[in-house]
Structure formats: structure tokens, C-alpha cells
């Protein structure tokens, strides 16, 4: 029995069905979970459009003239995009190409986002059904360690997986109204792009939405409670992205904690701690998640929750109740779809008696889909700099990479960490467009314990951004005494 049909739940269901188990998934809001319907998939679809806008804004530098041919038509006139907002904020810093000539059709964009999420959810449902998984569309709960109540039935199970996910945290005094004060699940219901968007919270989600809306054409203010944006990420990477944000006209308010958000007649006012106020047309709240673990009968069944309500699990996804496993955001263990899926699969392999390796969180590859993207895997720069990891590091800016020059970008770098002495690759950071695709090379090296010598002997295409990764590996081949 699996409670929750997000990646934690459906990936587990597929593995269990493959191994011949009789599997039932209980889901209250749609297969694919929040990941597919409201969080990961919709946001990355929105970002596909905002990234394209960035390319359009930079097109003139690459020798492309956007607009009517000389002597014909009127610039930007007659666009079929009814209700669209022009990219004026971005255009202020993006050259002539952006001025009203490339415009976002928000209703069409949001319709695309929602349709794509729905289609993806339908694909997940189809796949589960094809594998013989029974689906119950209902809210389920435990009635003891091996008993689930769902769809009006009391169902006994040899094993139960809790994968109920998490919900946006609500800041008291800043409750979303779905119109002007929003969480990220409500933003796709807006009739248009916000003209002046205040994003409260500069973690991964806040940074991604701030980056996307700036490129789409909103004037964005990012309210960050810390000194810099994305305080938990690689500091060099966060600095590059914050620099790009500011250069493109975003206002970034550091060390500013939002105390309250209220509606005005035609917008919102955000009051910061200390009394300063910021006004905009809309406010997007990205202040974290809380686990969806209430009212499920978990503690009554012997499942221990931590002080914030997350389910406590070990590295093979076992909870403290016999036969009850948990996966995904409800565990609070690295809130990523890939981690949720792996926790779910591990739970099934474990309960069905397969050989299983405990999850390796130090091998998780992750990306922040800002523009440029930040992709990371393995050990962190903090761990290396503090001496917690005995490693050497190299950082190569992309500004000298031939391919980066051709593509017309200069913000970004690759960073590689390797064990001192053995040269085994321990991790890396890539800041670049499509860094999410480039990180796989480093991920493979980390997973397979490859050395910098092996990586340096691997062919990279010329010219390519991945060439900077093999070059970074070459730099670390030098004798230890020379390494910096």
C-alpha cells in the first residue's frame, strides 16, 4: 500500500510491480503528485519559456535583428498575444531587441504549463495501470502499522509506504489570497504576468521564480532574509547569479525579513522587519515547505515524527514502525524529486528482499534552474574550505571557454573537487546555461570514484562547455604541492 502518488510513491509502485508485488497507490490530488501538477514540472515549464526569452533578449549581440524589415510594419504592433505584457523591465537592460518586440502571452503560457502538467500526470497514471498497479483516488490514512483506510475500505498490507509530500509553508500575517498574495501553486491562475512582482524568500524556489519572471518581463524585487541569495548553495555560484539578477534590473533586498504582506487597492505592500515597506502589484511567497503528515494516524501506528512533523527514516527508508516505510518530501530528506524516487525504490527493494544499497545523499546531483543554472554534486566548497574534506579544488571561469564566447555568455564557471593524494573526484559545481545537463560528467565520476587523471584522459568535444570540465581535471593532475 502506497500513500501518495508523487515521485516517492509512483517510482516505488513501478519497482514493486516489476518485482511481482500486488501494489495499490492511494492518492488524493492526482498521479504525479505535487511534483508533476503544481511544483517541479509547472515551474520548469515556465522556465522553458523564460529561458527562451533570455535567448531572444541576447539575440542582437549574436547578429540577429528582431523586428520588422527595414521600411515595413510597426515595431511590436499587431501581436496576437491578447493581454500580453511586454518585456519592458528586462528590455531596459537588454538592448533594443527586447523593447516590445518579444512579448510573453501570459494566458497562453499558463495554459501550456497546466496542460503539460495534466498530460504528464495522465502519463504516470497510464504507466501505473499498465503495470497492474491499482489506483484509489482518495485521501488515505493508517489504522495501525499494516492497515490502510482508503476508498471506504480497510486494506491489510505486507508493507506500507508513506509518500504524502509537503505543502507550502504559510507565513503568519502573509496569508495567500490567490489573487495578489500568492504561493507558487497559485501563480499559474493569474490572468496576466505580474507587472511588479515581489518574491519573498530567496532559497531555491524564490530564486528560480525571480529569475524566470524577470526574464518574462515583470519588474522583480527579491526579498532575502540573508546577506546573499540562496544562502545554502555554493557561495561563488550564488554570487554569480545574484550579480546577473542585479545587472538585469532586479532589486535584491538582502538581510530583509518580511514581517507582513497586505493587499492595497491595486496591489500589495510588504512590510519588512524594521518597518520599511515595499510595494508591488503581486507578492509571491516562497518561504519553505511543511510536511503533509497530519491526520494520517502515523504516530498512533508507531511512526516517529520530528519536531517539525517530518517522518524519521533511516537510509533504506524504514520508519520506526515495523513494515512502514516513508519516502520523499514528507521525510524532509533533501526535498528533490530524484531523491523521493530513489527513497521509494529503495524502500521497495528492501521490503521485497532485493539487494539494496542505502541512499547516498553525498552523491545527489541537483540543479537550481535560474539563468544561468547552478548544478552541484558531491562535496561542497564549505566542506573543502573548512578542512572537513581533505580535498583540492579548482575553479575555471567560463569567460575563456571558446564555446561560451560563441554562444555569447560570460557568467559562469566550473569547479571540481578531488581527494588530495588519490585525485578521486569528490564533487563539482557548474554555473552555466544548461548546467543541469553538464553536471552528469561530474556525477558519473563521483559515483564511480574516477580520478582526475581518468577524467582528464576522457575526450570532450571541441568546442564545448564540457571541455572546461576536462580542463579542470587536467589542472588538478599537477603535483600536490602546486595545487590551489
Ligand X SMILES: Cc1cc2nc3c(=O)[nH]c(=O)nc-3n(C[C@H](O)[C@H](O)[C@H](O)COP(=O)(O)OP(=O)(O)OC[C@H]3O[C@@H](n4cnc5c(N)ncnc54)[C@H](O)[C@@H]3O)c2cc1C
Residues that bind ligand X (CB under 6 A): 3-9, 26-30, 33-35, 39-40, 43-44, 139-140, 163-165, 184, 205, 292, 296, 328-330, 335-338, 340, 369
Q: Which helix (H) or strand (E) holds 127?
A: helix 106-130
Angle between helices 337-351 and 7-18 (to 10 degrees): 30
Integer Cα distance of 184 and 168 in angstroms: 8
State which residue, 86 or 202, has the beta carbon closest to ligand X. Answer: 202
Residues 6+ apart with CB under 8 A from 362: 378, 379, 427
C-alpha distances in Å from residue 101, one per residue of 53, 327, 343? 11, 46, 47
Nearest to 7 by CA among 311, 365, 337, 289: 337
Nearest to 140 by CA among 153, 127, 130: 153
Closest CB 10 distance from ligand X, rounded Å: 8
Closest CB 292 distance from ligand X, rounded Å: 5
Closest CB 296 distance from ligand X, rounded Å: 5
State which residue, 170 or 460, has the beta carbon closest to ligand X. Answer: 170
Residue matched to cell numbers 534552474: 369
Give the Cβ contact number of residue 417 at 10 Å: 27
Residues 6+ apart with CB under 8 A from 61: 95, 408
State which residue, 286 or 401, has the beta carbon closest to ligand X. Answer: 286
Closest CB 26 distance from ligand X, rounded Å: 5
Alpha helices in 393-463 (DSSP H): 402-407, 435-438, 440-447, 452-456
Closest CB 55 distance from ligand X, rounded Å: 20
Helix, strand or coil for residue 440?
A: helix
Closest-by-Cβ residue to ligand X is 328
* Angle formed at CA 168 by CA 337 and CA 250, multiple of 5 degrees: 90
State which residue, 124 or 238, has the beta carbon closest to ligand X. Answer: 124
**Residues β-bridged to residue 280:** 268
State which residue, 313 or 381, has the beta carbon closest to ligand X. Answer: 313
Closest CB 273 distance from ligand X, rounded Å: 25
State which residue, 258 or 340, has the beta carbon closest to ligand X. Answer: 340
Closest CB 164 distance from ligand X, rounded Å: 3
Integer Cα distance of 143 and 148 in angstroms: 6
State which residue, 38 or 470, has the beta carbon closest to ligand X. Answer: 38
Closest CB 336 distance from ligand X, rounded Å: 4
State which residue, 7 or 441, has the beta carbon closest to ligand X. Answer: 7
Amino acid at each position: 500500500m502506497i500513500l501518495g502518488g508523487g515521485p516517492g510513491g509512483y517510482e516505488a509502485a513501478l519497482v514493486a510491480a516489476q518485482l511481482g508485488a500486488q501494489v495499490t497507490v492511494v492518492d488524493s490530488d492526482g498521479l504525479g503528485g505535487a511534483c508533476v501538477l503544481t511544483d517541479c514540472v509547472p515551474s520548469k515549464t515556465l522556465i522553458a519559456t523564460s529561458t527562451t526569452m533570455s535567448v531572444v533578449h541576447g539575440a542582437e549581440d549574436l547578429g540577429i535583428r528582431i523586428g520588422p524589415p527595414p521600411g515595413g510594419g510597426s515595431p511590436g504592433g499587431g501581436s496576437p498575444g491578447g493581454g500580453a505584457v511586454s518585456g519592458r523591465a528586462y528590455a531596459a537592460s537588454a538592448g533594443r531587441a527586447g523593447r516590445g518586440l518579444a512579448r510573453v502571452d501570459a494566458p497562453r503560457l499558463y495554459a501550456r504549463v497546466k496542460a503539460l502538467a495534466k498530460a504528464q500526470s495522465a502519463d504516470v497514471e497510464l504507466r501505473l495501470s499498465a503495470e497492474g498497479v491499482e489506483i484509489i483516488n482518495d485521501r488515505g490514512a493508517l489504522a495501525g502499522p499494516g492497515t490502510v483506510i482508503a476508498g471506504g475500505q480497510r486494506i491489510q498490507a505486507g508493507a506500507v509506504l508513506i509518500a504524502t509530500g509537503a505543502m507550502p509553508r504559510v507565513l503568519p500575517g502573509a496569508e495567500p489570497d490567490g489573487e495578489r498574495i500568492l504561493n507558487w501553486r497559485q501563480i499559474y491562475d493569474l490572468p496576466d504576468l505580474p507587472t511588479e512582482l515581489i518574491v519573498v524568500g530567496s532559497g531555491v524556489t524564490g530564486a528560480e521564480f525571480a529569475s524566470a519572471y524577470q526574464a518574462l518581463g515583470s519588474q522583480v524585487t527579491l526579498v532575502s532574509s540573508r546577506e546573499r541569495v540562496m544562502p545554502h548553495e555554493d557561495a561563488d555560484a550564488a554570487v554569480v547569479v545574484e550579480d546577473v539578477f542585479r545587472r538585469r534590473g532586479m532589486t535584491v533586498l538582502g538581510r530583509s525579513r518580511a514581517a507582513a504582506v497586505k493587499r492595497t487597492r491595486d496591489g500589495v505592500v510588504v512590510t519588512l522587519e524594521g518597518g520599511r515597506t515595499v510595494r508591488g502589484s503581486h507578492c509571491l511567497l516562497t518561504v519553505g515547505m511543511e510536511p503533509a503528515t497530519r491526520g494520517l494516524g502515523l504516530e498512533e501506528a508507531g511512526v516517529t515524527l520530528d519536531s517539525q512533523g517530518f517522518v524519521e527514516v533511516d537510509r533504506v527508508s524504514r520508519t520506526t514502525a515495523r513494515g512502514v516505510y516513508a519516502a520523499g518530501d514528507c521525510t524532509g530528506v533533501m526535498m528533490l524529486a530524484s531523491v523521493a524516487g530513489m527513497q521509494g525504490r529503495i524502500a521497495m527493494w528492501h521490503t521485497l528482499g532485493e539487494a539494496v544499497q542505502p541512499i547516498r545523499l553525498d552523491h545527489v546531483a541537483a540543479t537550481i534552474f535560474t539563468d544561468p543554472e547552478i548544478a552541484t554534486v558531491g562535496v561542497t566548497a564549505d566542506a573543502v574550505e573548512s578542512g572537513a574534506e581533505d580535498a583540492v579544488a579548482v575553479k575555471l571561469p567560463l569567460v575563456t571557454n571558446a564555446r561560451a564566447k560563441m554562444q555569447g555568455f560570460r557568467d559562469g564557471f566550473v569547479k571540481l573537487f578531488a581527494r588530495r593524494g588519490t585525485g578521486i573526484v569528490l564533487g563539482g559545481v557548474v554555473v552555466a546555461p544548461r548546467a543541469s545537463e553538464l553536471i552528469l560528467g561530474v556525477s558519473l565520476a563521483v559515483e564511480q570514484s574516477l580520478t582526475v587523471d581518468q577524467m582528464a584522459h576522457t575526450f570532450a568535444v571541441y568546442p564545448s562547455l564540457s571541455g572546461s570540465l576536462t580542463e579542470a581535471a587536467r589542472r588538478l593532475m599537477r603535483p600536490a604541492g602546486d595545487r590551489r
